[in-house]
Homo-oligomer: A and B are copies of this chain.
Amino acid sequence: MPGLDEIGEFGLIERIRARRRAADEDVVVGMGDDCAVLRRGSILEVLTTDCLVEGTHFQPGWLSMEDVGWKALAVNLSDVAAMGATPRHALVTLFIPGGIAAEDIDSLYDGVEACAAGAGVVVVGGDIVRIDGPFAVSITLSGTCERDEVVTRSGAREGDVIVVTGRLGEAALGMEYLESGRRPAGPAAERSAERFRRPVPRHEEARVIVRELQPTSMIDLSDGLASDLWHILDMSKAGASLNAEAVPVGEGVVDWFEGDRESALEFAVRGGEDYELLFTMSGRHGDALAGAAARTGLEMTAIGRITPREAGFVLAAAGAETRVGRGGFDHLKGLREHRKEV
């Protein structure tokens, strides 16, 4: 039997998928996307769950209780955004070790509610349980959308343009600051620190993208572009060619690598927790990209094209092509091993 460290999170998900029962007629999308998609009468519901565990996703002292509450909901909002759905209702489960005061829980809830208020989400239930271990928060979030609006990972077609929102690598850099205990001064570093602490999910921007750009596939960047694009390629049975020079790298990341663009790029495409959106769209809608970007105030950058499956995933730079393997941020391997990979 292989050990869990060899299999990793994605290998384990594959094992579980292979063992699951057949879906019923109301399961539009089951395991393997950002959310499950379920038919509920005339509408579609998306359902997702994600958790934050101290010692796994963050170390003691890195985040305030309010940050933890905010982030635990934000990472779920990002998954609902990736389906093009409107976030609606949340269940919040708290795993509470000894030594946590009631006012800590209040602060955590303030963080959840601050994030929920911005997204129009209502917390409708949950669970509270003592744990003889680390503090953890697990949130389930539902969303709704019309039938023709849901966007999965499986619709990318050869020739589609690959687009990413925002700039990459900032959240991973924010974590790097915390791990190294070294953080430069200035607004770029400030912004990177904030991106790790309080990711801003792109659920409103996702609705604009769905309406104006008709994406053929979409995913949120939780594990890093290199890893997450693979999910779209695997589900869509496609390949990709990225233009290395076009990939938008966070300003702080370029600073951190003292202008070494190649190292900064590798860090940015491997770093996790950006919670930006990665989507594909027909080249026909290319002219609408600038308008959607302007309307949302969010950078949207065309970084490459979908290619045939057999072409694989390549990064093209200055005439040379590099093949990209399945890397990225695998939470099961833990923070330490992740940092080794970067």
Question: Which residues of chain B are near A55, meaning CB under 8 Å?
Answer: 131-133
Residue among B27, B89, B130 making CB contact with A332, cutoff 8 Å: B130
- The answer, yes or no, to whether A126 is at the interface (CB within 8 Å) is yes
Q: How would residues 193 to 217 of chain A score, 1 for a CB under 8 Å from any chain B CB and 0 otherwise?
A: 0000000000000000000000000
B-contacting 9-mer, from A90-98, A181-189, A287-295, A302-310: A90-98
Copies in the complex: 2
Q: How would residues 116 to 127 of chain A score, 1 for a CB under 8 Å from any chain B CB and 0 otherwise?
A: 110010111111
Residue among B15, B38, B93, B133 making CB contact with A51, cutoff 8 Å: B93
- The answer, yes or no, to whether A325 is at the interface (CB within 8 Å) is no
- The answer, yes or no, to whether A56 is at the interface (CB within 8 Å) is yes
CB pair A49 B93 closer than 8 Å: yes
In this complex, the member of A56, A101, A125 whose beta carbon has the largest number of chain B beta carbons within 10 angstroms is: A125
Question: Which residues of chain B are near A129, meaning CB under 8 Å?
Answer: 9, 51, 53, 56-57, 331-332
Chain B: CB-nearest residue to A35:
B125
Residue among B96, B103, B332 making CB contact with A1, cutoff 8 Å: B103
- The answer, yes or no, to whether A3 is at the interface (CB within 8 Å) is yes
CB pair A120 B24 closer than 8 Å: yes
Main secondary structure of the interface of A (DSSP, over half): mixed
B-contacting 9-mer, from A134-142, A250-258, A266-274, A312-320: A134-142
Question: Which residues of chain B are near A93, meaning CB under 8 Å?
Answer: 49, 51, 138
- The answer, yes or no, to whether A7 is at the interface (CB within 8 Å) is yes
Q: How would residues 28 to 48 of chain A score, 1 for a CB under 8 Å from any chain B CB and 0 otherwise?
A: 001100011010111101011
Chain B: CB-nearest residue to A30:
B124
CB pair A332 B23 closer than 8 Å: no
Given the complex of chains A and B, what is the CA–CA distance between A124 and B131 in angstroms?
26
CB pair B89 A132 closer than 8 Å: no
CB pair A27 B124 closer than 8 Å: yes
Chain B: CB-nearest residue to A6:
B102
Chain B: CB-nearest residue to A144:
B40
Given the complex of chains A and B, what is the CA–CA distance between A232 and B45 in angstroms?
30
Q: Which residues, 207 to 260 on A, are CB-close (under 8 Å) to B?
A: none
* 29 contacts across the A-B interface (CB closer than 8 A): A1-B102, A2-B102, A3-B102, A4-B100, A4-B101, A20-B122, A20-B123, A21-B116, A23-B124, A24-B88, A27-B122, A27-B124, A31-B123, A36-B125, A38-B124, A38-B142, A41-B41, A41-B43, A49-B91, A49-B93, A53-B130, A55-B133, A93-B138, A96-B332, A128-B331, A128-B332, A130-B331, A131-B133, A132-B134
